[in-house]
Structure 1
Amino acid sequence: MVEHKTNETDASTAPSSFSHERFKWYAVLTQSGMEKKAKATLEERIKKLKMTDYFGQILIPTMTIEKIDESGKKKKVEQKMMPGYLFVQMDPVHKATFGCVKDTPKISSFIGSAANQDPKPVPDEEISRIFNRAAEATKASPAKPVTAFEKGEKVKVIDGPFTNFVGDIDEVKADKMKLRLLISVFGRATPVELEFSKVEKLKDGE
Structure 2
Amino acid sequence: MAEDRDTEARWYVVHTYSGYENKVAQNLETIVENRRLQELIHEVKVPVELVPDIKDGKEREVERKLFPGYVLVKMVMTDDSWYIVRNTRGVTGFVGPSSKPIPLTDEEVDKLGVDVREVSLDYAVGDNVQIMNGPLEGFIGIVEGIDTDAKKVNVKVSMFGRETPAELDFTQVKPL
Matches within 5 A, 1:4-15: none
Pick from 71, 74, 87 the counterpart of residue 86 of structure 1.
Answer: 71
In the TM superposition, residue 95 of structure 1 has moved relative to its aligned partner by: 2.6
Give me the whole-angstrom Cα distance separating, in 1, the residues matched to 2:97 and 2:36.
25
Give me the whole-angstrom Cα distance separating, in 2, the residues matched to 1:82 and 1:128.
16
Give me the whole-angstrom Cα distance separating, in 1, the residues matched to 2:55 and 2:88.
38
Give me the whole-angstrom Cα distance separating, in 2, the residues matched to 1:70 and 1:48.
43
Gaps of 5+ in 2: 1-6, 115-176
Query: Paired residue for 1:109?
Result: 93
In the TM superposition, residue 66 of structure 1 has moved relative to its aligned partner by: 2.4
Give me the whole-angstrom Cα distance separating, in 1, the residues matched to 2:44 and 2:92.
16
Query: Paired residue for 1:50?
Result: 36
Give me the whole-angstrom Cα distance separating, in 1, the residues matched to 2:72 and 2:92.
13
Pick from 124, 129, 153 the counterpart of residue 106 of structure 2.
Answer: 124
What CA deviation, in whole Å up to 9, does each residue of 1:94-135 have, x standing for no partner?
Answer: 331101100111111001123xx3211111321231247xxx
Give me the whole-angstrom Cα distance separating, in 2, the residues matched to 1:26 and 1:113.
12
TM-score (structure 2 length as normaliser)? 0.55
Give me the whole-angstrom Cα distance separating, in 2, the residues matched to 1:69 and 1:38.
29
Matches within 5 A, 1:156-195: none
In the TM superposition, residue 65 of structure 1 has moved relative to its aligned partner by: 1.9
Give me the whole-angstrom Cα distance separating, in 2, the residues matched to 1:104 and 1:128.
27
Tell me the number of residue pairs that the alignment of Structure 1 and Structure 2 aligns.
108
Query: Paired residue for 2:133?
Result: none
1:76 aligns with 2:61: yes
Identity %: 28
Query: Paired residue for 2:84?
Result: 100
Describe the SS at the equivalent of 1:122.
coil
Query: Paired residue for 1:201?
Result: none
Q: Is the 8 A contact 1:61 1:131 kept in 2?
A: no
- Closer/same/farther in 2, CA of residues 83 and 52 from structure 1, 3 Å limit: same
Q: Which is richer in strand?
A: 2
